[in-house]
Amino acid sequence: MATYYVVRGAKMWCDKGSNERKINLPVSHGSYVKGKPILNKKDKKPDNISYFGVCPECLAEEEIAVIDKNGALKTGKKCTPVIVVDWVKTKDDTIVEGHPALTTDSIIFCTHGGNITFVTSGQE
């Protein structure tokens, strides 16, 4: 897969979760591709990364039921990502509001053991 800048609405996947989710950017950093705001390595808050369905590693109290990406019913603990480090594999020579831009090669790690990566760039 070619490498693209990640913009609001790109699909992400956590290898511990049951569902893909879209990354959010409540307030634009002012840099755009195809009219959509580009994200940077600091975009890791719950406003940006919500949850990925059911996670077998999470310690959450809340039990949920979701339909996973294959159409199967999954029940279990609601994924509650805990992210304490910035995105890695960023585009260091493209600065978006003072920080390197995210690309489809970028990855971030959840303290529950999940690796979060991009499925799409959001530019589609």
Query: What pLDDT does residue 60 have?
Result: 83
Query: What pLDDT does residue 1 have?
Result: 64
Burial degree of 26 (CB within 10 A; 0-12, 13-18, 19+): exposed
The closest of 119, 94, 93 to 105, measured between CA atoms, is 119
Query: What pLDDT does residue 98 have?
Result: 97
Residue with tokens 């996973």: 68
Per residue in 68-82, pLDDT tens? 989 999 999 999 999
Give Dmax (Cα) for the chain.
43
Give the predicted TM-score (pTM) of the model. Answer: 0.93
Give the residue extent of every domain in the chain.
Answer: 1-51+82-124
What are the residue ranges in the chain where pLDDT is below 50?
Answer: none
